Structure 1
Amino acid sequence: MKIIKLNAIDSTNSFLKEMGQNSTLKNFTVVVTNNQEKGRGQVENKWISKPFKNLTFSVFTKDFDLEIKDQKYLNFAISLAIFNTLSNYKTPNLSIKWPNDILSANKKICGILIENNIKGTKITSSIIGIGLNVNQEKFADSLKNATSLKNSTNSKYDYDLDDLLLEIIENLKNTIHLLSLKKYQELETGYLNVLYKKNIPSMFKDRNDVLFMGKIIGISLYGNLQVELEDEIVKEFGLKEISFA
Protein backbone atom coordinates (compact mmCIF):
# COMPACT_ATOMS: atom_id res chain seq x y z
CA MET A 1 0.00 0.00 0.00
CA LYS A 2 1.30 3.42 -0.98
CA ILE A 3 -0.25 6.59 0.47
CA ILE A 4 0.30 9.93 -1.28
CA LYS A 5 -0.67 12.95 0.79
CA LEU A 6 -1.43 16.25 -0.90
CA ASN A 7 -2.26 19.55 0.73
CA ALA A 8 -4.73 20.57 -1.97
CA ILE A 9 -5.89 19.11 -5.28
CA ASP A 10 -8.85 19.50 -7.65
CA SER A 11 -9.90 15.84 -7.49
CA THR A 12 -8.13 12.83 -6.01
CA ASN A 13 -9.84 10.55 -8.55
CA SER A 14 -8.56 12.66 -11.44
CA PHE A 15 -5.07 12.76 -9.91
CA LEU A 16 -4.93 8.97 -9.60
CA LYS A 17 -6.27 8.55 -13.13
CA GLU A 18 -3.47 10.75 -14.51
CA MET A 19 -0.90 8.83 -12.44
CA GLY A 20 -2.14 5.59 -13.95
CA GLN A 21 -1.67 6.94 -17.46
CA ASN A 22 1.96 7.79 -16.78
CA SER A 23 3.06 4.89 -14.57
CA THR A 24 2.07 1.45 -13.32
CA LEU A 25 0.13 1.80 -10.10
CA LYS A 26 0.48 -0.70 -7.28
CA ASN A 27 -2.66 -2.24 -5.84
CA PHE A 28 -4.16 -0.06 -3.11
CA THR A 29 -2.32 3.11 -4.08
CA VAL A 30 -4.05 5.88 -2.11
CA VAL A 31 -4.20 9.62 -2.75
CA VAL A 32 -5.53 11.71 0.12
CA THR A 33 -5.84 15.49 0.37
CA ASN A 34 -6.58 18.03 3.08
CA ASN A 35 -8.45 20.19 0.62
CA GLN A 36 -10.28 18.81 -2.40
CA GLU A 37 -11.32 21.81 -4.44
CA LYS A 38 -13.42 20.11 -7.12
CA GLY A 39 -14.64 16.87 -5.59
CA ARG A 40 -16.93 14.79 -7.79
CA GLY A 41 -19.91 12.66 -6.88
CA GLN A 42 -22.31 10.47 -8.83
CA VAL A 43 -23.54 11.73 -12.23
CA GLU A 44 -21.70 15.08 -12.23
CA ASN A 45 -22.73 15.94 -8.67
CA LYS A 46 -20.19 17.83 -6.57
CA TRP A 47 -18.78 16.71 -3.23
CA ILE A 48 -18.30 19.70 -0.93
CA SER A 49 -15.99 19.22 2.04
CA LYS A 50 -14.50 21.61 4.58
CA PRO A 51 -10.68 21.55 4.36
CA PHE A 52 -8.72 19.73 7.11
CA LYS A 53 -11.90 18.44 8.75
CA ASN A 54 -12.85 15.43 6.67
CA LEU A 55 -11.45 12.53 4.67
CA THR A 56 -11.31 13.01 0.90
CA PHE A 57 -9.29 10.34 -0.84
CA SER A 58 -9.14 7.87 -3.70
CA VAL A 59 -7.94 4.27 -3.83
CA PHE A 60 -6.64 2.37 -6.86
CA THR A 61 -7.41 -1.34 -6.79
CA LYS A 62 -7.01 -4.21 -9.23
CA ASP A 63 -6.59 -8.00 -9.49
CA PHE A 64 -10.12 -8.89 -8.37
CA ASP A 65 -11.03 -10.69 -11.64
CA LEU A 66 -14.54 -9.29 -12.13
CA GLU A 67 -16.84 -9.57 -15.12
CA ILE A 68 -18.61 -6.34 -16.13
CA LYS A 69 -21.96 -8.04 -15.58
CA ASP A 70 -21.00 -8.61 -11.94
CA GLN A 71 -19.91 -5.06 -11.16
CA LYS A 72 -22.64 -4.59 -8.55
CA TYR A 73 -20.59 -6.82 -6.23
CA LEU A 74 -17.70 -4.35 -6.39
CA ASN A 75 -20.12 -1.66 -5.24
CA PHE A 76 -21.33 -3.94 -2.44
CA ALA A 77 -17.74 -4.59 -1.31
CA ILE A 78 -16.79 -0.91 -1.20
CA SER A 79 -20.00 0.22 0.50
CA LEU A 80 -19.66 -2.48 3.15
CA ALA A 81 -16.04 -1.51 3.86
CA ILE A 82 -17.14 2.01 4.82
CA PHE A 83 -20.19 0.73 6.67
CA ASN A 84 -18.06 -1.71 8.69
CA THR A 85 -15.54 0.98 9.57
CA LEU A 86 -18.19 3.37 10.85
CA SER A 87 -19.85 0.55 12.76
CA ASN A 88 -16.64 0.17 14.74
CA TYR A 89 -17.13 3.76 15.93
CA LYS A 90 -20.66 2.97 17.11
CA THR A 91 -22.13 5.37 14.56
CA PRO A 92 -25.89 5.29 15.20
CA ASN A 93 -28.56 4.10 12.76
CA LEU A 94 -26.14 3.29 9.95
CA SER A 95 -27.47 2.23 6.56
CA ILE A 96 -26.45 2.14 2.91
CA LYS A 97 -28.69 4.13 0.59
CA TRP A 98 -28.64 2.67 -2.91
CA PRO A 99 -26.31 2.61 -4.64
CA ASN A 100 -23.55 3.63 -2.21
CA ASP A 101 -24.33 6.58 0.04
CA ILE A 102 -23.68 5.85 3.70
CA LEU A 103 -26.28 7.31 6.07
CA SER A 104 -26.38 7.85 9.80
CA ALA A 105 -29.84 8.51 11.21
CA ASN A 106 -31.13 9.27 7.68
CA LYS A 107 -28.38 11.84 7.05
CA LYS A 108 -25.55 11.41 4.55
CA ILE A 109 -22.16 10.86 6.15
CA CYS A 110 -20.23 9.44 3.20
CA GLY A 111 -20.33 9.47 -0.59
CA ILE A 112 -18.56 7.08 -2.95
CA LEU A 113 -17.61 7.44 -6.63
CA ILE A 114 -16.37 4.33 -8.47
CA GLU A 115 -14.67 4.67 -11.85
CA ASN A 116 -13.80 1.40 -13.59
CA ASN A 117 -11.23 0.52 -16.23
CA ILE A 118 -12.57 -2.10 -18.63
CA LYS A 119 -10.89 -4.52 -21.02
CA GLY A 120 -13.02 -6.93 -22.98
CA THR A 121 -15.69 -8.31 -20.68
CA LYS A 122 -13.80 -7.61 -17.45
CA ILE A 123 -13.18 -4.76 -15.04
CA THR A 124 -9.40 -4.70 -14.80
CA SER A 125 -9.08 -2.03 -12.12
CA SER A 126 -11.03 0.68 -10.32
CA ILE A 127 -10.48 4.08 -8.81
CA ILE A 128 -12.62 4.49 -5.71
CA GLY A 129 -13.29 8.05 -4.58
CA ILE A 130 -14.48 8.43 -1.00
CA GLY A 131 -15.68 11.54 0.78
CA LEU A 132 -16.31 10.96 4.48
CA ASN A 133 -17.50 13.73 6.77
CA VAL A 134 -15.51 13.28 9.96
CA ASN A 135 -14.94 16.33 12.15
CA GLN A 136 -17.06 18.96 10.38
CA GLU A 137 -19.76 20.26 12.72
CA LYS A 138 -21.59 22.84 10.60
CA PHE A 139 -22.85 22.41 7.05
CA ALA A 140 -24.24 24.84 4.49
CA ASP A 141 -28.01 25.19 4.25
CA SER A 142 -27.85 23.38 0.91
CA LEU A 143 -26.44 20.36 2.77
CA LYS A 144 -29.12 20.13 5.45
CA ASN A 145 -29.24 16.34 5.11
CA ALA A 146 -25.50 15.95 5.77
CA THR A 147 -23.87 14.83 8.99
CA SER A 148 -20.41 13.83 10.20
CA LEU A 149 -18.89 11.15 12.40
CA LYS A 150 -18.33 13.72 15.14
CA ASN A 151 -21.91 14.99 15.01
CA SER A 152 -23.46 11.53 14.79
CA THR A 153 -21.54 10.16 17.74
CA ASN A 154 -21.74 13.39 19.78
CA SER A 155 -18.00 13.27 20.29
CA LYS A 156 -16.36 16.08 22.24
CA TYR A 157 -13.08 15.45 20.44
CA ASP A 158 -11.92 15.35 16.85
CA TYR A 159 -11.23 11.96 15.31
CA ASP A 160 -7.74 11.21 13.98
CA LEU A 161 -8.05 11.32 10.18
CA ASP A 162 -4.91 9.24 9.57
CA ASP A 163 -6.08 6.42 11.83
CA LEU A 164 -9.52 6.43 10.25
CA LEU A 165 -8.03 6.30 6.75
CA LEU A 166 -5.93 3.26 7.60
CA GLU A 167 -8.96 1.48 9.07
CA ILE A 168 -10.97 2.11 5.91
CA ILE A 169 -8.15 0.80 3.70
CA GLU A 170 -7.88 -2.38 5.79
CA ASN A 171 -11.62 -2.94 5.56
CA LEU A 172 -11.49 -2.30 1.82
CA LYS A 173 -8.79 -4.95 1.50
CA ASN A 174 -10.98 -7.39 3.42
CA THR A 175 -14.14 -6.87 1.38
CA ILE A 176 -12.32 -6.76 -1.96
CA HIS A 177 -10.60 -10.00 -0.97
CA LEU A 178 -14.08 -11.51 -0.63
CA LEU A 179 -14.78 -10.17 -4.12
CA SER A 180 -11.65 -11.81 -5.53
CA LEU A 181 -12.72 -15.10 -3.91
CA LYS A 182 -16.06 -14.65 -5.70
CA LYS A 183 -18.02 -14.73 -2.47
CA TYR A 184 -20.72 -12.73 -4.18
CA GLN A 185 -23.62 -14.05 -2.14
CA GLU A 186 -21.90 -13.08 1.12
CA LEU A 187 -21.38 -9.54 -0.17
CA GLU A 188 -24.95 -9.25 -1.43
CA THR A 189 -26.44 -10.55 1.81
CA GLY A 190 -24.35 -8.11 3.84
CA TYR A 191 -25.39 -5.21 1.62
CA LEU A 192 -29.11 -6.04 1.56
CA ASN A 193 -29.17 -6.49 5.34
CA VAL A 194 -28.31 -2.80 5.81
CA LEU A 195 -29.98 -1.32 2.71
CA TYR A 196 -31.87 1.87 3.54
CA LYS A 197 -35.68 1.50 3.60
CA LYS A 198 -35.60 -2.11 2.40
CA ASN A 199 -39.06 -3.69 2.74
CA ILE A 200 -40.49 -0.45 4.17
CA PRO A 201 -43.42 1.09 2.21
CA SER A 202 -42.21 4.51 1.05
CA MET A 203 -43.21 7.34 -1.22
CA PHE A 204 -41.02 7.74 -4.31
CA LYS A 205 -40.91 10.02 -7.31
CA ASP A 206 -39.62 9.25 -10.77
CA ARG A 207 -37.57 11.49 -13.05
CA ASN A 208 -40.82 13.17 -14.20
CA ASP A 209 -41.71 13.98 -10.57
CA VAL A 210 -44.59 11.48 -10.61
CA LEU A 211 -45.25 10.23 -7.08
CA PHE A 212 -45.91 6.57 -6.29
CA MET A 213 -45.84 4.18 -3.36
CA GLY A 214 -43.62 1.14 -3.24
CA LYS A 215 -41.04 -0.72 -1.24
CA ILE A 216 -37.44 -1.63 -2.03
CA ILE A 217 -37.05 -5.40 -2.21
CA GLY A 218 -33.58 -5.86 -3.68
CA ILE A 219 -30.99 -5.18 -6.36
CA SER A 220 -31.31 -6.64 -9.84
CA LEU A 221 -28.70 -8.74 -11.65
CA TYR A 222 -27.31 -5.60 -13.28
CA GLY A 223 -27.38 -3.42 -10.20
CA ASN A 224 -30.69 -1.61 -10.62
CA LEU A 225 -32.98 -0.91 -7.67
CA GLN A 226 -35.96 -3.27 -7.47
CA VAL A 227 -39.14 -1.68 -6.14
CA GLU A 228 -42.38 -3.56 -5.57
CA LEU A 229 -45.32 -1.33 -6.45
CA GLU A 230 -48.75 -1.33 -4.82
CA ASP A 231 -50.08 -3.81 -7.41
CA GLU A 232 -47.21 -6.17 -6.48
CA ILE A 233 -45.47 -5.61 -9.81
CA VAL A 234 -41.70 -5.28 -9.41
CA LYS A 235 -40.10 -2.46 -11.37
CA GLU A 236 -36.40 -1.74 -11.82
CA PHE A 237 -34.83 1.71 -11.67
CA GLY A 238 -31.38 2.93 -12.68
CA LEU A 239 -29.34 5.75 -11.19
CA LYS A 240 -31.22 9.07 -11.04
CA GLU A 241 -34.45 7.43 -12.27
CA ILE A 242 -35.96 7.36 -8.79
CA SER A 243 -35.70 9.21 -5.51
CA PHE A 244 -37.49 9.34 -2.19
CA ALA A 245 -40.29 11.89 -2.19
Structure 2
Amino acid sequence: MSRRNSAFDPTHVLVVTGDQAAEIRATNAALDAVLDHADTVGIWIEEAQLDDDHPALVASLCDAFTRVNGERPRPDHFTGTVDDVRSSLSELLSTTSFHRFVSLTRLDASRDGCRLFTYVPDHRTFEVDASVSPGLDAAIRASIETESAALLPAGTLADWDADGRHYELSPPHLCLEGDGCHALTNVSGVDLNDERREIRLEWETDSDSIVSKVITKLGPERPSRFRFDSADRYEDVASAFDELSTELEW
Protein backbone atom coordinates (compact mmCIF):
# COMPACT_ATOMS: atom_id res chain seq x y z
CA MET A 1 0.00 0.00 0.00
CA SER A 2 1.38 3.44 -0.90
CA ARG A 3 2.21 6.06 1.72
CA ARG A 4 -0.43 8.32 0.17
CA ASN A 5 -3.24 5.90 1.06
CA SER A 6 -1.99 4.80 4.46
CA ALA A 7 -3.89 5.71 7.61
CA PHE A 8 -2.81 8.57 9.81
CA ASP A 9 -0.37 7.16 12.36
CA PRO A 10 0.91 9.90 14.69
CA THR A 11 4.50 9.71 15.88
CA HIS A 12 4.29 12.61 18.34
CA VAL A 13 1.83 14.53 20.50
CA LEU A 14 2.04 18.07 21.80
CA VAL A 15 1.40 18.53 25.52
CA VAL A 16 0.87 22.07 26.77
CA THR A 17 0.95 23.18 30.40
CA GLY A 18 -0.11 26.53 31.83
CA ASP A 19 -3.28 28.58 31.48
CA GLN A 20 -5.43 29.09 28.39
CA ALA A 21 -3.36 32.02 27.14
CA ALA A 22 -0.22 29.90 27.36
CA GLU A 23 -1.99 27.06 25.57
CA ILE A 24 -3.09 29.26 22.68
CA ARG A 25 0.36 30.80 22.35
CA ALA A 26 2.20 27.46 22.38
CA THR A 27 -0.29 25.70 20.13
CA ASN A 28 -0.26 28.49 17.56
CA ALA A 29 3.55 28.49 17.51
CA ALA A 30 3.57 24.75 16.87
CA LEU A 31 0.85 25.12 14.23
CA ASP A 32 2.94 27.66 12.35
CA ALA A 33 5.78 25.14 12.25
CA VAL A 34 3.40 22.45 10.96
CA LEU A 35 2.06 24.71 8.21
CA ASP A 36 5.61 25.36 7.00
CA HIS A 37 5.76 21.63 6.19
CA ALA A 38 2.24 21.27 4.77
CA ASP A 39 0.62 22.14 1.45
CA THR A 40 -3.07 21.55 2.23
CA VAL A 41 -5.28 22.40 5.21
CA GLY A 42 -8.73 21.15 6.17
CA ILE A 43 -10.88 22.75 8.87
CA TRP A 44 -14.20 21.82 10.44
CA ILE A 45 -16.05 24.75 12.03
CA GLU A 46 -19.47 25.56 13.45
CA GLU A 47 -19.99 28.29 10.87
CA ALA A 48 -23.31 29.69 12.15
CA GLN A 49 -22.01 29.80 15.72
CA LEU A 50 -18.81 31.58 14.70
CA ASP A 51 -20.71 33.95 12.41
CA ASP A 52 -22.82 35.25 15.31
CA ASP A 53 -19.81 36.99 16.85
CA HIS A 54 -17.26 37.11 14.01
CA PRO A 55 -19.04 37.63 10.66
CA ALA A 56 -15.99 39.25 9.06
CA LEU A 57 -13.83 36.29 10.03
CA VAL A 58 -16.34 33.82 8.59
CA ALA A 59 -16.44 35.83 5.35
CA SER A 60 -12.64 35.71 5.20
CA LEU A 61 -12.59 31.95 5.78
CA CYS A 62 -15.26 31.31 3.15
CA ASP A 63 -13.34 33.41 0.67
CA ALA A 64 -10.00 31.66 1.32
CA PHE A 65 -11.23 28.06 1.69
CA THR A 66 -13.37 25.82 -0.50
CA ARG A 67 -16.45 24.29 1.07
CA VAL A 68 -16.39 20.49 0.94
CA ASN A 69 -19.87 19.52 2.10
CA GLY A 70 -22.42 21.17 -0.17
CA GLU A 71 -25.48 20.43 1.97
CA ARG A 72 -23.78 22.00 4.97
CA PRO A 73 -24.11 19.31 7.63
CA ARG A 74 -22.56 20.32 10.95
CA PRO A 75 -19.75 20.96 11.41
CA ASP A 76 -18.96 22.75 8.16
CA HIS A 77 -15.94 21.32 6.34
CA PHE A 78 -13.56 23.49 4.29
CA THR A 79 -10.25 22.83 2.60
CA GLY A 80 -7.60 24.90 0.88
CA THR A 81 -3.92 25.28 0.09
CA VAL A 82 -1.65 26.64 2.80
CA ASP A 83 -0.66 29.66 0.73
CA ASP A 84 -4.29 30.63 0.14
CA VAL A 85 -5.66 30.11 3.65
CA ARG A 86 -2.82 30.93 5.99
CA SER A 87 -3.82 34.53 6.66
CA SER A 88 -7.48 33.84 7.46
CA LEU A 89 -6.55 30.72 9.41
CA SER A 90 -4.12 32.75 11.51
CA GLU A 91 -6.94 35.16 12.31
CA LEU A 92 -9.16 32.27 13.43
CA LEU A 93 -6.42 30.79 15.61
CA SER A 94 -5.69 34.13 17.25
CA THR A 95 -9.24 34.28 18.61
CA THR A 96 -9.18 34.06 22.39
CA SER A 97 -12.92 33.61 23.00
CA PHE A 98 -14.65 30.22 23.35
CA HIS A 99 -14.83 30.04 19.54
CA ARG A 100 -11.11 29.11 19.51
CA PHE A 101 -11.95 25.81 21.26
CA VAL A 102 -15.58 25.20 20.31
CA SER A 103 -16.42 26.73 16.93
CA LEU A 104 -13.20 25.29 15.48
CA THR A 105 -13.81 21.58 15.94
CA ARG A 106 -10.89 20.14 13.97
CA LEU A 107 -7.92 21.12 11.84
CA ASP A 108 -5.92 18.79 9.58
CA ALA A 109 -2.81 19.46 7.52
CA SER A 110 -1.37 17.32 4.72
CA ARG A 111 1.68 17.16 2.47
CA ASP A 112 1.64 15.47 -0.94
CA GLY A 113 -1.66 13.79 -0.09
CA CYS A 114 -0.47 12.40 3.29
CA ARG A 115 -1.93 13.73 6.51
CA LEU A 116 0.82 14.89 8.85
CA PHE A 117 -1.22 16.61 11.52
CA THR A 118 -4.56 16.66 13.36
CA TYR A 119 -5.72 19.17 15.95
CA VAL A 120 -8.97 18.91 17.94
CA PRO A 121 -9.07 22.02 20.17
CA ASP A 122 -11.90 21.00 22.47
CA HIS A 123 -10.07 17.77 23.41
CA ARG A 124 -6.62 19.41 23.42
CA THR A 125 -5.56 16.79 20.87
CA PHE A 126 -2.48 17.78 18.84
CA GLU A 127 -1.05 14.82 16.92
CA VAL A 128 1.76 14.79 14.38
CA ASP A 129 3.13 12.21 11.97
CA ALA A 130 6.67 13.51 11.62
CA SER A 131 7.56 10.73 9.18
CA VAL A 132 5.64 12.54 6.43
CA SER A 133 8.05 15.49 6.38
CA PRO A 134 11.70 15.23 7.50
CA GLY A 135 12.57 17.82 10.11
CA LEU A 136 8.99 18.47 11.21
CA ASP A 137 9.52 17.31 14.79
CA ALA A 138 12.65 19.45 15.12
CA ALA A 139 10.80 22.47 13.70
CA ILE A 140 7.97 22.08 16.23
CA ARG A 141 10.40 21.73 19.13
CA ALA A 142 12.20 24.89 18.03
CA SER A 143 8.91 26.78 17.77
CA ILE A 144 7.93 25.96 21.38
CA GLU A 145 11.37 26.31 22.92
CA THR A 146 10.28 29.27 25.06
CA GLU A 147 6.73 28.00 25.68
CA SER A 148 5.23 25.79 28.40
CA ALA A 149 4.93 22.82 26.07
CA ALA A 150 6.67 19.64 24.99
CA LEU A 151 6.55 17.44 21.90
CA LEU A 152 6.43 13.86 23.18
CA PRO A 153 6.48 10.45 21.49
CA ALA A 154 3.03 9.10 20.67
CA GLY A 155 1.97 5.72 21.99
CA THR A 156 2.59 3.91 25.24
CA LEU A 157 5.88 4.80 26.96
CA ALA A 158 5.37 2.28 29.77
CA ASP A 159 2.70 -0.04 31.13
CA TRP A 160 2.50 -1.93 34.41
CA ASP A 161 0.23 -3.60 36.95
CA ALA A 162 -0.22 -2.33 40.50
CA ASP A 163 -2.87 -2.96 43.15
CA GLY A 164 -4.84 -5.16 40.80
CA ARG A 165 -4.98 -2.51 38.06
CA HIS A 166 -3.27 -2.08 34.72
CA TYR A 167 -1.76 1.32 33.92
CA GLU A 168 -0.51 2.83 30.68
CA LEU A 169 1.63 5.94 30.43
CA SER A 170 0.57 7.21 27.01
CA PRO A 171 1.09 10.95 26.48
CA PRO A 172 -0.87 13.07 26.93
CA HIS A 173 -2.51 10.72 29.47
CA LEU A 174 -1.96 8.25 32.29
CA CYS A 175 -4.70 5.64 31.79
CA LEU A 176 -6.24 3.08 34.11
CA GLU A 177 -7.61 0.05 32.32
CA GLY A 178 -11.41 0.19 32.37
CA ASP A 179 -11.46 3.36 34.48
CA GLY A 180 -10.55 6.27 32.24
CA CYS A 181 -7.52 8.51 31.88
CA HIS A 182 -5.87 11.45 33.63
CA ALA A 183 -4.22 14.33 31.77
CA LEU A 184 -0.50 14.48 32.44
CA THR A 185 -0.80 18.26 32.57
CA ASN A 186 -2.50 17.79 35.96
CA VAL A 187 0.61 16.20 37.47
CA SER A 188 2.58 18.72 39.54
CA GLY A 189 5.46 16.51 40.66
CA VAL A 190 6.96 13.03 40.63
CA ASP A 191 9.25 11.37 43.18
CA LEU A 192 11.31 8.32 42.21
CA ASN A 193 12.61 6.18 45.06
CA ASP A 194 15.04 3.67 43.59
CA GLU A 195 15.77 2.00 46.90
CA ARG A 196 12.10 1.25 47.64
CA ARG A 197 11.22 0.80 43.95
CA GLU A 198 8.43 3.29 44.47
CA ILE A 199 7.00 6.12 42.34
CA ARG A 200 4.89 8.86 43.90
CA LEU A 201 2.83 11.39 41.95
CA GLU A 202 1.60 14.78 43.09
CA TRP A 203 -1.45 16.25 41.37
CA GLU A 204 -2.51 19.83 40.78
CA THR A 205 -5.44 20.91 42.93
CA ASP A 206 -7.77 23.87 42.45
CA SER A 207 -9.90 24.19 45.54
CA ASP A 208 -11.69 27.24 44.14
CA SER A 209 -12.91 25.46 41.00
CA ILE A 210 -16.33 23.80 41.23
CA VAL A 211 -15.68 21.99 37.95
CA SER A 212 -12.38 20.66 39.27
CA LYS A 213 -14.08 19.39 42.42
CA VAL A 214 -16.79 17.60 40.43
CA ILE A 215 -14.28 16.00 38.05
CA THR A 216 -12.10 14.88 40.96
CA LYS A 217 -15.10 13.40 42.78
CA LEU A 218 -16.81 11.70 39.84
CA GLY A 219 -13.82 10.85 37.65
CA PRO A 220 -11.36 7.98 38.08
CA GLU A 221 -9.28 8.10 41.24
CA ARG A 222 -5.95 9.80 40.80
CA PRO A 223 -3.20 7.29 41.60
CA SER A 224 -0.54 8.68 43.91
CA ARG A 225 1.81 5.76 44.54
CA PHE A 226 3.14 2.74 42.64
CA ARG A 227 5.36 0.06 44.17
CA PHE A 228 7.14 -2.57 42.08
CA ASP A 229 8.30 -6.07 42.94
CA SER A 230 10.31 -6.27 39.73
CA ALA A 231 13.44 -4.14 39.55
CA ASP A 232 13.40 -4.22 35.76
CA ARG A 233 9.78 -3.08 35.55
CA TYR A 234 10.44 -0.31 38.05
CA GLU A 235 13.42 0.92 36.04
CA ASP A 236 11.37 0.97 32.82
CA VAL A 237 8.49 2.92 34.34
CA ALA A 238 10.73 5.22 36.38
CA SER A 239 12.75 6.04 33.26
CA ALA A 240 9.58 7.03 31.41
CA PHE A 241 8.38 9.24 34.26
CA ASP A 242 11.84 10.77 34.60
CA GLU A 243 11.81 11.70 30.91
CA LEU A 244 8.37 13.27 31.22
CA SER A 245 9.41 15.11 34.37
CA THR A 246 12.21 16.77 32.43
CA GLU A 247 10.07 17.57 29.40
CA LEU A 248 7.05 18.88 31.35
CA GLU A 249 9.08 20.49 34.16
CA TRP A 250 7.33 18.68 37.02
Structure showing the higher helix proportion among its residues = 2
TM-score by length of 2: 0.25
In our comparison, the structure showing a higher alpha carbon Rg is 2
